[in-house]
Amino acid sequence: MTGAIVITTPAELRDRYQLGASVGLVPTMGSLHEGHLSLIRRAAAENDLAVVSAFVNPTQFNDPFDLARYPRSLERDVELATSAGANLVYAPEVATVYPAGFATRVHVDRITELWEGESRPGHFDAVATVVSILLNQVRPDRAYFGEKDFQQLAMIRQMHRDLAVPGEIVACPTVREPDGLAMSSRNARLSEGERAVAPVLYEALRAMDEAARGGERSSLKLAILGALIVKRALEIELEYLQVVNPETVEPLEVAIPGARAIVAATIGDTRLIDNLELLSGES
DSSP character for 88? E
Strands (E) located in 92-191: 142-146, 168-172
Do 226 and 262 form a contact (C-beta atoms < 8 A)?
no
Size of the site for ligand AMP (CB under 6 A): 17
Are the beta carbons of 224 and 206 closer than 8 angstroms? no
Out of 33, 36, 107, 160, the active site residue is: 36
Among 25, 37, 128, 183, binds ligand AMP (CB under 6 A): 183
Q: Minimum distance from CB of 262 to ligand AMP (Å)?
A: 13
Q: Is 146 in the site for ligand AMP (CB under 6 A)?
A: yes
Q: Does 199 bind ligand AMP (CB under 6 A)?
A: no
Contacting ligand AMP within 21-40 (CB under 6 A):
28-29, 35-36, 38-39
Which one, of 153, 126, 145, 123, lies nearest residue 244 by Cα? 153
- Residue 149 as a binder of ligand AMP (CB under 6 A): the answer is yes
Let me know if 36 is a catalytic residue: yes
Which of the stretches 133-141, 169-177, 248-256, 260-268 binds ligand AMP when contact is defined by CB under 6 A? 169-177
The nearer residue to ligand AMP, 183 or 208, going by C-beta atoms, is 183
User: Residue 46: which region, alpha, beta or left (left: phi > 0; alpha: psi -120 to 50)?
Assistant: alpha
Q: Does 182 bind ligand AMP (CB under 6 A)?
A: yes
Instruction: Choose, by CB under 6 A, the member of 41, 142, 148, 260 that binds ligand AMP.
Output: 148
CA–CA dist 179, 51 (Å, integer): 31
Quick one: 28 or 112, whose CB is closer to ligand AMP?
Answer: 28
- For the chain, what is the total number of helices (H) and then of strands (E)? 11, 9
Establish if 172 lies at the interface with ligand AMP (CB under 6 A): yes
Q: From CA 241, how far away is CA 273, in angstroms rounded?
A: 10
Gyration radius of the chain over CA positions: 19
Amino acid at 102: F
- Per-position x/- string for 215-244, each x denoting binding to ligand AMP as judged by CB under 6 A, each - no binding: ------------------------------
Among 158, 174, 242, 275, binds ligand AMP (CB under 6 A): 174
Q: CA torsion sign, 119 to 123 to 124 to 125? A: positive
**Strand boundaries in 68-205, DSSP class E:** 88-90, 142-146, 168-172
Q: Which stretch binds ligand AMP (CB under 6 A): 63-71, 92-100, 142-150, 227-235?
A: 142-150
What residues contact 204, with CB distance under 8 A and at least 6 apart?
A: 225, 226, 227, 229, 230, 241, 263
Residue of the chain from 61, 98, 145, 202 that contacts ligand AMP (CB under 6 A): 145
Q: Indicate which residues carry an active-site annotation.
A: 36
Give residues in contact with ligand AMP (CB under 6 A).
28-29, 35-36, 38-39, 145-146, 148-149, 172, 174-175, 182-185
